[in-house]
Amino acid sequence: MLTSNDVRDDEAMQERHVTQLTDVGEDIILSTHDLHVFYGQHEALFEGDLQFANHKITALIGPSGSGKSTFLRSLNRMNDRIATVTGQIMYRGVDVNQPAIDVYEMRRRVGMVFQRPNPFAKSIYDNIAFALQLRGVTDRHQLDEIVETSLRQAALWDQVKDELNKSALALSGGQAQRLCIARAIAVKPDILLLDEPASALDPVSTSQLEDTLLDLKQKYTIIIVTHNMQQAARISDYTAFFNAGRVLEYDTTSQIFTNPQVKITSDYVSGNFG
């Protein structure tokens, strides 16, 4: 149980329960303030006010179309050319949702892994070296070293260490997704955003991926969108429940799953949604 809960009602008179993590003494690395996202005229996110704790895993759950991906993609400005994002995204004290921000530098610090494993049609090695080479790293030893550590962190090294020059497209779905994680962490980001990274994977690969994420927590802050309640419960420290473009509840994961404050949340996590 958290001591300080902030229950607010908005215009829609919706029941909400969004915990301020600063109140529970968390070290906040990223937070959003009054974030609105519009696809043309269509407003897909009405108000996203969330705080993310350093070196913790935060899960974003909620029904399809509730704006989880929209929110996540706004965090590293992937919606730049697609949607209009207003409001503040404070990353270590800097508002990164302003035009003056160098999005390319920003995305190095806030990496992203997508729902569908999307390795490039290059070798395993080149996939990981890609982002480093963009930044002018040419030293072969340095590249070799980073490729190895990234693959190790993504728990893929032992399986591919003898075939780094093989095409990444030959990997299985689970391996490919872990390659994508290795690729994202090769540039040593601060935060890793994952949008349903396990939805295309079988149960074994999924559980391996979850183990990997739990390991990565030591080094990175992880924000993960998932439809899999058990997954959210297993790996995350905090969970945010999205519904119809709003964050309705945000709390520790155990609280969300065992003692949700909002009716819709409790319906959703217990599977009675609809």
Partner 1 sequence: MKSTQQLERQLKRHSKAARLESWGRFISFSALLLIVAVVVGIIGFVASKGIATFATNHVSLWDFLTEKTWNPNIKDAHGNPEVGALPMIVGSFLITILSAIVATPFAIGTAVFMNEISPNRGAKILQPVTELLVGIPSVVYGFIGLSVVVPVTRAVFGGSGFGILSGTCVLFVMILPTVTSMSTDALKAVPRYYREASLALGATQWQTIYKVVLRAATPGLMTAVVFGMARAFGEALAVQMVIGNAALMPSSLVAPASTLTSVLTTGIGNTVMGSLQNNALWSLALVLLLMSLVFNLIIRLIGRKGRMQA
Binding-site ranges for Mg ion (CB under 5 A): 69
For binding to partner 1 (CB under 8 A), which residues are involved?
A: 76, 78, 104-108, 111-112, 114, 116, 118-122, 130-131, 134-135, 167, 169, 180, 183-184, 187
Identify whether the C-beta of residue 68 lies closer than 8 Å to the C-beta of residue 50: no
Identify whether the C-beta of residue 241 lies closer than 8 Å to the C-beta of residue 247: yes
Helix (H) or strand (E) holding 206: helix 203-216
Identify whether the C-beta of residue 157 lies closer than 8 Å to the C-beta of residue 151: yes
Least distance between partner 1 and beta carbon 213 (Å): 17
Least distance between partner 1 and beta carbon 137 (Å): 13
Q: Of 71 and 91, which CB lies nearer to ligand ATP in the complex structure?
A: 71
**Residue 66 touches ligand ATP, criterion: CB under 6 A:** yes
Quote the tokens at residue 79. 């919606």
Distance CA 215, CA 147 (A): 18
x/- site string to ligand ATP, residues 69 to 98, per CB under 6 A?
xx-----------x----------------
Q: Which does 70 bind (CB under 5 to 8 A by kind): partner 1, ligand ATP, Mg ion, none?
A: ligand ATP
Q: Where are the beta strands (DSSP E) in the chain?
A: 17-18, 28-39, 42-48, 51-53, 57-61, 84-91, 94-95, 110-113, 191-195, 221-225, 238-243, 246-252
Q: Which does 35 bind (CB under 5 to 8 A by kind): ligand ATP, Mg ion, partner 1, none?
A: none
Identify whether the C-beta of residue 74 lies closer than 8 Å to the C-beta of residue 89: yes
Q: Which does 39 bind (CB under 5 to 8 A by kind): Mg ion, ligand ATP, partner 1, none?
A: ligand ATP
Quote the tokens at residue 48. 């996203």
Which phi and psi (to 5°) does residue 136 adopt?
A: 85, 10
Least distance between partner 1 and beta carbon 233 (Å): 27
Distance CA 55, CA 258 (A): 23
Q: Which does 108 bind (CB under 5 to 8 A by kind): Mg ion, partner 1, ligand ATP, none?
A: partner 1
x/- site string to ligand ATP, residues 125 to 164, per CB under 6 A?
----------------------------------------
Distance CA 225, CA 227 (A): 7
Q: Which stretch binds ligand ATP (CB under 6 A): 68-76, 92-100, 131-139, 266-274?
A: 68-76
The contact set with ligand ATP (CB under 6 A) reads 39, 42, 44, 62, 64-70, 82
